[in-house]
Amino acid sequence: MTDPSDRRLLLVHAHPDDETINNGATMAKYAAEGASVTLVTCTLGEEGEVIPPELAHLAADRDDTLGTHRIGELAAAMQALGVTDHRFLGGPGRFRDSGMMGLPTNDREGAFWHTDVDTAAPYLVEIVRSVRPQVLVTYDPDGGYGHPDHIQAHRVAMRAVDLAADPDYRADLGPAHTVAKVYWNRVPRSAAEEGFARLRASGAQFPGVADVADLPGVVEDDVITAAVDGGPYTGHKTAAMRAHATQIAVDGPFFALSNDLGQPLFATEYYELVRGTAGAPPGERESDLFAGLSWTDA
């Protein structure tokens, strides 16, 4: 596949900000190269904690208007990344943020976690069949770190990939489409350790420093099959992180979430190929998520 404009990448995420933290540099790179980049966000992130004190009133236990506010943050982040196709699964507000695992908000009507996978998946099948991506990116089965909406986003994405390819499933949602390659977001342990060493040596001012164990998706290095060098797009990623101001505090090449713990911002983003054929020789990492695809995959 040599014509960048024929490349179509679809990312499935749980909340506004997850796309930027996990894939911001990758999204900016492919958008800049002329590929089609589509982001699907499953909830508005209504249950998030709010960092800036002057916006604390938006929180779910006060005005409960954080979701609407985060629609604007996400739009600004997409502008920073150069991504123009962004959608909420089922439309904005169809599925609500479930909150952290074990909270009563998990079980409330309309919560994403409380929704059957097969109720949510058709909305994504329709997008897969209309966008027709060769590459789909989502979380691993643990959602990276066990958040119910991340686990559910993984389940819905994997289910939708299967259903979209089945010509006997819901012809009303468009002609069947097989996604050639599916990747899960990952972080190699060595990169996480190196990032924290850099953070500790930097003197960056955070109330605390996170630990490798706090990072989602950390795995042993040999699990990683692809590394996308987003170095030239670090500025785009940083700007998009700043756009998610209720959720992320940025300090140079580091950032903190609402737990105030500093963590490194990765310009290289890492993936594990779980469906499809790698475009790199055995034992080597792909540097391009579209590597090895042929015209017949388009």
Residue 150 annotated as part of some ligand binding site: yes
Residue 140 annotated as part of some ligand binding site: no
As beta bridge partners, residue 209 has 262
CB-nearer residue toward Zn ion: 14 or 228: 14
Residue 86 annotated as part of some ligand binding site: no
How is residue 16 annotated by DSSP? Answer: T
CB-nearer residue toward Zn ion: 149 or 286: 149
Q: Residue 266 has which token pair? A: 């990765």
**Minimum CB–partner distance for residue 247 and Zn ion (Å):** 9
CB-nearer residue toward Zn ion: 271 or 290: 271
Residues in the chain: 298
Q: Is 186 helix (H, G, I), strand (E, B) or coil?
A: strand
Q: Counting contacts by CB under 5 A, is residue 15 touching Zn ion? A: yes
Stretch binding Zn ion (CB under 5 A), from 9-17, 82-90, 97-105, 260-268: 9-17
**Minimum CB–partner distance for residue 180 and Zn ion (Å):** 27
Nearest-CA neighbor of 31 among 81, 87, 86?
Answer: 81
The residue within the footprint of Zn ion, chosen from 1, 14, 35, 267 (CB under 5 A), is 14
Q: Is 236 helix (H, G, I), strand (E, B) or coil?
A: helix
Q: Are 89 and 42 in contact (CB under 8 A)?
A: yes
As beta bridge partners, residue 226 has 271, 286
CB-nearer residue toward Zn ion: 14 or 50: 14
Between residue 18 and residue 37, which ones bind Zn ion under the rule CB under 5 A? 18
**Which residue has 């150069």 as its token pair?**
82
Which secondary-structure segment (H or E) carries 36? Answer: strand 36-41
Q: Residue 225 has which token pair? A: 């099959």
Stretch binding Zn ion (CB under 5 A), from 8-16, 189-197, 202-210, 228-236: 8-16
Q: Which residue positions form the known binding site for Zn(2+)?
A: 15, 18, 150
Residue ranges binding Zn ion (CB under 5 A): 14-15, 18
Residue ranges of the annotated binding site are 15, 18, 150
